[in-house]
Structure 1
Amino acid sequence: MSAVTGKTRWWSAPPRPAWEEAPGRAGVAGKGLVLTLACLGVLFPLWIVVVTSLSSRRTIDEAGGLVMIPRDLTLVAYRELLSGGQVTRAAVISVLITLVGTAFSMTVSVLCAYGLSRTGSLGHRWLLMLLLATMFFSAGLIPTYLLVQSVGLTDTYLALILPSALSVFNILVLRGFFMGISQELTDSARIDGAGDVRILWQIVMPLSRAVLAVITLFYAVGYWSAWFNASLYLNDQEMMPLQNVMIQLVQKQEAPVGLGQAIKTGELSGLAVQMAVMVMALLPVAVLSPFVQKHFKKGMLTGAVKG
């Protein structure tokens, strides 16, 4: 911008809108303060939960409940929980349900999304409309329960997987990402004699690692955190996953089998046991999320935009 004529010279950059201007020092400091407070708001409760789970009964009694300052740390709560009782069995059940359910859901979702991404496939438009309809219309809880009961899935672990095995949203994200892959690659492979299975396995899936990692995390977190299906379809307490045991411990104040006597005799604090179960339930998600975080932008936004 010329100071004399007030006109923009041809070599100067065009003016940017106000929302694209570089933030000043006050803006940077304000953003840093907001982000710091947000992080503290998330991390501080987690800190209290972890410290309380590692505290002795005397420390918890002196603090009058939740412990903020670590003192006399001990692993007795975790050692008792993992000594082979109800919590250990529930954790193993949750891990197996998560692994099997995630593998099944990803297999069906990838196959469905790949078929719907091929615009020339038979009936793909009608199938897509049918899937979209399930996002807005549902039979309801009672018909679903009657269906699960009629096929004999009650009191079985399949009742924790099959009723929630598919997510139409995840299928649409995968479909959008698959459609963004260059058609020339698949056409050249088909000319060389490759079938759909080989194209999917050797071309489409290697190019879709980002979105596959994100959708896998979504399914895994869903299975790990699920508790409603177990409370609805399972009657045997020994088959309950970890989340249901945590609900019984925290909300209903029911001690896990094998720990009731230890709590009554004063060897363990009931609050420490509750916090330890919470940490065990949160630990897998907290450990896996950072490894998939880098794929979120590429996997989710690209798939959603190109869908």
Structure 2
Amino acid sequence: MHVKLAGKDLAFQIIIYVVAALMILAIIYPLWFIIIASFSNPADVANGEVWFWPRQWTFKGYNALFEQPIIWRSYLNTILYTAIGTLFGLLVNIPAGYALSRKDLSGRKWLNVFYVIPMFISGGLVPIYLTVKSVGLVNNFWVMIIPFAVSPYNIIVARTFFQSSIPDSLWEAAQLDGSGTFRYFARIVLPLSKAVLAVIGLWTAVGIWNQWFNALIYLQNENLQPLQLILRRILISNQQLAGNTTGQLAAELQQLSDMMKYASIVISTLPIMALYPFLQKYFNQGVMLGSVKG
């Protein structure tokens, strides 16, 4: 009987490993395919001749992208928006989440409702645009950082983390040592909150890095536009150019457009994906700790 149970356990473990391996393959292979497709001849990709390695290596897609002078400027813009916007987002959302977690905060119940409502109801694009324009942020570097820095979802996650992970006894001990609220938050709470800082920082960075719609609405100055918007414009222009031509030239333009499409995916996602291995430990811990209490 014991041997039979052991056999069932072994079979179950094998099934789990096989399913896990298939799930990993389903996630990794599309990413790998995009990478190898960016270095492959589009005709080989279209004919299904590219599976695990480029059949013919080519750098035409990358060369065509990097020949665009605005690419480097937009890349710098995106890095600046992401770095400054992430720091500003943490500066705004983390203290707000901590304040809402304090039981002695006056009007705490109504403030929680105040932050929840915008998660379901938006003022709309036109009122937001008029508000942004009234404060002079249209065609301004800071329009990608300040107006959309407050995230009710991130504030609620931070609030839940502080409620479930920072015991009240620490605040009582800090008071006995003569520590005030700001000193307690800076010296005790923040060092114990690396997990939620990493999680919210990563979410904020990914959101800003992939942002293009706000730039499309609020930034007409090409020198201020981020990478995602510039890539979108280049790809649309190439597709329109290929659609307006015929014959061999149309086929060549379509192939170039496909190569640039794959290359743009790689250069726009690789930097932000490189952050995940360094933050994975804090990311998993922060999500679990932040979900203990509602």
CA distance 1:89–1:23, change in 2 (3 Å): farther
Q: Does structure 1 retain, via aligned residues, the 8 Å contact 2:212–2:229?
A: yes
Is 1:280 matched up with 2:267? yes
Partner of 1:92: 76
Deviation at 1:287, TM superposition (A): 0.9
Could you tell me whether the CA contact under 8 Å between 1:250 and 1:274 is conserved in 2?
yes
* Cα contact 2:132–2:138 (8 A) shared by 1: yes
Give the alignment partner of residue 15 of structure 2, picking from 30, 47, 55. 30
Unaligned runs of 5+ in 1: 4-20, 256-262
TM-score (norm 2): 0.83
Could you tell me how far apart the structure 2 residues matched to 1:65 and 1:114 are?
Answer: 56
Q: Report deviation, 1:52.
A: 2.4
Going from structure 1 to structure 2, the CA distance change for 1:81 and 1:65 (only over 3 Å counts) comes to farther
CA contact (8 A) 1:248 1:254 kept: no
Counterparts in 2 of 1:143 and 1:249: CA distance versus 1, 3 Å: same
Deviations 1:87-122 (A, max 9, x none): 111111111000111111100111111211111123
Root-mean-square deviation (CA, aligned residues, Å) is 2.9
Question: Relative to structure 1, is the Cα distance of residues 203 and 65 closer, same or farther in structure 2, using a 3 angstrom cutoff?
Answer: farther
Q: CA deviation at 1:246?
A: 2.2
Q: Deviations over 1:159-187 (max 9, x none)?
A: 22223212111111111221231212122
- Structure 1: how far apart are the matches of 2:172 and 2:139? 48
Does the CA contact (< 8 Å) of 1:81 and 1:88 recur in 2? Answer: no
Rg larger for: 1
2:173 corresponding residue in structure 1: 188
8 Å contact kept, 1:246–1:278: no
How many residue pairs match? The answer is 277
Unaligned ranges ≥5, structure 2 = 241-248
Q: Equivalents in 2 of 1:305, 1:193: separation in Å?
A: 31
Q: Secondary structure in 1 aligned to 2:170?
A: helix
Q: Does 1:128 align with 2:112?
A: yes
Report the Cα distance in structure 2 between the residues aligned to 1:184 and 1:40, rounded to whole angstroms: 47
| Aligned partner of residue 162 in structure 1, secondary structure | coil
| SS of aligned partner of 2:274 | helix
In the other structure, the counterpart of 2:244 is: none
Deviation at 1:131, TM superposition (A): 0.8
Give the equivalent residue in structure 2 for 1:179. Answer: 163
* TM-score, length basis structure 1: 0.80
More helix by share: 2
What is the aligned-residue identity percentage?
36
CA distance in 2, matches of 1:238, 1:83: 16
8 Å Cα contact 1:249/1:274 also seen in 2? no
Query: Which residue of 2 is the match for residue 197 of structure 1?
Result: 182
CA distance in 1, matches of 2:274, 2:16: 27
Residues 1:295 and 2:279 are matched in the alignment:
no
Secondary structure in structure 1 of the residue aligned to 2:23: helix
Matched ranges for 1:166-245 at <5 A: 166-180=150-164, 181-245=166-230
Q: Distance in 2 between matches of 1:193 and 1:297?
A: 35
- 1:34-45 → structure 2 map (5 Å cutoff): 34-45=19-30
Q: CA deviation at 1:234?
A: 1.3
Give the 5 Å matches for 1:14-29.
24-29=9-14
How much does 1:155 deviate? 1.1
1:294 aligns to what SS in structure 2? Answer: helix
